Amino acid sequence: MSIKDCWEAFLDLIFPPKCLVCHVPLEARDNYQLCPSCLSGITFIKPPFCTLCGMPFKSQDSLDHLCGECLTSKRYFTKARSVGFYEGTLLKAIHLFKYHRKIHLALPLGYMLSDSVSQLFHMEWVDLLIPVPLHHRRLRERGFNQALLLARILKKRYNKTLATRVLRRWRWTEPQVNLSEKARKNNVKGSFVISNHMTVKEKNILLLDDVYTTGATINECGRTLLKAGANKVYVLTLARSVRV
């Protein structure tokens, strides 16, 4: 047993591990530090889904194909994928992390993201990791950028370059939560800029965020990056909000 294992065993004896969501005692620090009940409350996204935006289809009998929105709307990314549905345990964990300042959740959620990414992308094709940025006013209010904290886990695991300042949200936008899809697009239009075009020129970029809802923010980021000379933009989010 290594020194690290001994130290963790000692900590578990003094401070028994608890589920990060419901706080029941855990037998060991595994399964992303979630109890079996909370872990079973995560629905991981599996095929079939849209080959472009990754929206899962209800019918399990169909093959992967383009969804209706991707057939009719311009997408400024090559492929978007999400780990799980934005519901149940994953929704609760992201809300605790994002809105209740439970920053310690960045580690298990980041591990969940990094465990899934190799199944969704060829990471050897990715040159640059870029988290979706927050406006400086929102960053002051929240105190951290949740997408950046998740991106740091991937940087460490896959030894990729993480660019934290090249994509900037220069214009303040209202929260997207209660806006229609059309209003969301108009709300974020022109709100991102590139600080250094050479950083992204001819690069394949993996854009990271916590939740994909309508894709308006992600799409605007992709448009900005491609306009600045990026070769391809891939998108990875922890959760996917699916409208019924």
SS3 call for 1: coil
Amino acid identity at 139: L
Question: What pLDDT tens digit does each residue of the chain (244 aa) get?
Answer: 455 554 444 455 556 788 999 999 887 767 799 999 999 999 999 999 999 999 999 877 788 999 999 999 999 999 999 999 999 999 999 999 999 999 999 999 999 999 999 889 989 999 999 999 998 988 999 999 999 999 999 999 999 999 999 999 988 776 656 666 667 777 778 889 999 999 999 999 999 999 999 899 999 999 999 999 999 999 999 999 987 5
Amino acid identity at 87: E
| Number of domains the chain is built from | 2
Task: State residue 6's pLDDT score.
Answer: 47
Task: State residue 195's pLDDT score.
Answer: 95
Please tell me what DSSP assigns to residue 211: E
Q: Quick one: three-class SS letters along 156-199?
A: HHHCCEECCCCEEECCCCCCCCCCCHHHHHHHHCCCEEECCHHH
Domain co-membership, 86 together with 187: yes
How many Cβ atoms sit within 10 Å of the Cβ of residue 231? 15
Residue 216: both structure tokens together:
């308006």
Domain co-membership, 62 together with 103: yes
Domain co-membership, 124 together with 211: yes
Domain co-membership, 18 together with 47: no
C-alpha closest to that of 151 among 132, 167, 131, 126: 131
Domain co-membership, 15 together with 57: no
Region for 229 from its dihedrals, namely left if φ exceeds 0, alpha if ψ lies in -120 to 50, beta otherwise:
left
Please tell me what DSSP assigns to residue 28: S
Q: DSSP readout, 50-118?
A: BTTT-PBPS-TTSPPB--HHHHHS--SSSEEEEEEESSHHHHHHHHHHHHS--GGGHHHHHHHHHHHHH
Domain co-membership, 52 together with 19: no
pTM: 0.89
Domain co-membership, 30 together with 61: no
Domain co-membership, 54 together with 149: yes
Residue 33: give the domain boundaries: 1-37
Domain co-membership, 21 together with 134: no
Domain co-membership, 45 together with 33: no
Task: State residue 31's pLDDT score.
Answer: 76
Residue 187: both structure tokens together:
């709300």
Domain co-membership, 27 together with 107: no
CATH number, domain at 136? 3.40.50.2020
Say whether the peptide bond before residue 48 is cis (omega within 30 degrees of 0).
yes
Task: State residue 7's pLDDT score.
Answer: 46
Contact between 39 and 124 (Cβ < 8 Å): no
Amino acid identity at 86: Y
Domain co-membership, 15 together with 45: no
Amino acid identity at 75: R
SS3 call for 15: coil
72-100 per-residue burial string, b: 16 or more CB within 10 A, e: under 16: eeebbbbbbbbbbbbeebbbebbebbbee
Task: State residue 220's pLDDT score.
Answer: 94
